[in-house]
């Protein structure tokens, strides 16, 4: 799984994927997030009206799906 350090280091690449996955996030939101996990989870809670646990689950699933080293099932 990709960690937060990798996410922040490659934020410009992930930014487009995040925007595709969560279209309600604005460009300003993405600029504020800057690859920080807690910021992204907070924005998901805010924009989608979901609980923190659900936002964390969606984020983990996103990271798992975005991991280039993930083993194919």
Q: Please check whether residue 39 lies inside any domain of the structure.
A: yes
Q: Please check whether residue 73 lies inside any domain of the structure.
A: no
Q: Please check whether residue 71 lies inside any domain of the structure.
A: no
Write down the pTM of the prediction: 0.83
Q: Which residues constitute the domain of residue 23?
A: 4-66
Q: What is the pLDDT of residue 3?
A: 73
The span from the CA of 69 to the CA of 38, in Å, is 23
Confidence of residue 58 (pLDDT cuts 50, 70, 90): very high
The span from the CA of 25 to the CA of 64, in Å, is 20
Q: Please check whether residue 57 lies inside any domain of the structure.
A: yes
Confidence of residue 73 (pLDDT cuts 50, 70, 90): very low
């Amino acid at each position: 799984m990709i960690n937060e350090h990798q996410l922040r280091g490659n934020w410009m690449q992930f930014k487009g994927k995040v925007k595709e996955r969560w279209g309600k996030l604005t460009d300003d939101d993405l600029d504020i997030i800057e690859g920080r996990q807690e910021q992204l989870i907070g924005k998901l809670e805010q924009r989608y009206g979901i609980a923190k646990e659900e936002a964390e689950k969606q984020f983990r699933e996103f990271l798992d799906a975005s991991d280039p080293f993930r083993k194919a099932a």
